Structure 1
Amino acid sequence: MSSASQLAKRFREVLLDGLWIANTNFKDQLKDITWKQAVTKIGSLNTIAMLAFHIHYYIAGIVNVLEGGELEIKDKFSFDLPPIESEEQWRDLLNRLWTDSEKFALLIEQIPDNKLDEVFVDEKYGTYRRNIDGMIEHAYYHLGQITLIRKMLTHS
């Protein structure tokens, strides 16, 4: 299996269907969350909706680059979630997350292995491989938060 295919598999594991590292994934953790739970604030923690938006923001930004566009995302906007006021809006956010996650994985699979160690957009961002690994690690970090917040919401 190529390095790019292995990275795509690891990405799918954390977002869509894996159980290997955390025994869960984003899709599994978010499938039964209602929009009211998703926007419920617990202390100073981010909401589940905010974390889902945040991860999607970065996935969509990197998808844009992998499709030949510019890197247009900015960290300062990564938590700018528009208000979610209905189940439909929450499900729309999740559907965009799942669709763009699969697109991200498919685009990774198309990267030739020798390109993985080339500069991603600008030298300050490192290589394609570093950015893909970073996205996977970032997703696991927030998956842990979502899992804990979900437990707090459903066991209180």
Structure 2
Amino acid sequence: MRRTESIANRLREVLLDGRWIANTNVKDQIESISWQQAVQKVDSLNTLAALTYHLNYYLGGVLNVFKGGELEIRDKYSFDLPPIRSERDWQSLIEDFLSNSEEFIEHVASLEEQKLDEPFVDKKYGSYERNLEGVIEHSYYHLGQMALINKMILGGNN
């Protein structure tokens, strides 16, 4: 299996349909809740909606680079979630996340192998492979938070 396919499979696992490492994935965590649960605060933790937006923000930013654009995302904006005031707002965010996830994974799978060793935008950011591995690690980190927050909201029945 090519390295790009392996990385794409790992992304698919954490974002959309895997169960091997965490026995869940981001899609499972967000599709199983209502918009009210998505915006429910648990202590000082981020909401599930904010974490979904955050992950999607980075996927969209890297997708822009894949499509020949600039790296325009900035950490300070990564939690600037527009208000979620209805099920439609929540479903729209979910659909955007799922669409970006699919497109992101497709781009990774179709990358030429040598691209993984090239600098990502600028040498200071490391290689494409290092950044893609970072997206996987970042996604698992927030998936863990989502699973715990979901358990707190649903009273441990999730």
Q: Shorter-chain TM-score category? A: over 0.9
Q: Match of 2:99, as an amino acid?
A: T
* C-alpha distance in 1 between matches for 2:138 and 2:88: 27
- 1:15-49 per-position Cα deviation (integer Å, ceiling 9, x unaligned): 00000110110111111110000000111100000
Q: Match of 2:135, as an amino acid?
A: M
Corresponding residue number in structure 2 for 1:58? 58
Q: Quote the offset at 1:106 in angstroms.
A: 0.4
* C-alpha distance in 1 between matches for 2:82 and 2:146: 19
- 1:83-108 per-position Cα deviation (integer Å, ceiling 9, x unaligned): 10000000000000000000000000
Corresponding residue number in structure 1 for 2:77? 77
Q: Match of 1:47, as an amino acid?
A: T
Q: Match of 1:35, as an amino acid?
A: W
After the TM superposition, which residues 90-101 of structure 1 pair with which residues of structure 2 at under 5 Å, given as runs? Answer: 90-101=90-101
The list of structure 1 runs, each at least 4 consecutive aligned residues, that deviate by more than 6 angstroms after superposition, is none
Corresponding residue number in structure 2 for 1:67? 67
Unaligned residue ranges in structure 1 (runs of 5+): none
So what's the TM-score if we normalise by structure 1? 0.98
* C-alpha distance in 2 between matches for 1:29 and 1:79: 18
Unaligned residue ranges in structure 2 (runs of 5+): none
Q: Match of 2:101, as an amino acid?
A: S
* C-alpha distance in 2 between matches for 1:140 and 1:149: 14
Corresponding residue number in structure 1 for 2:32? 32
So what's the TM-score if we normalise by structure 2? 0.97
Q: Match of 2:94, as an amino acid?
A: L
Corresponding residue number in structure 1 for 2:120? 120
Q: Quote the offset at 1:144 in angstroms.
A: 0.3
* C-alpha distance in 2 between matches for 1:7 and 1:40: 33
* C-alpha distance in 2 between matches for 1:124 and 1:86: 41
Q: Number of paired residues?
A: 156
SS at match of 2:117: coil
* C-alpha distance in 2 between matches for 1:32 and 1:142: 16
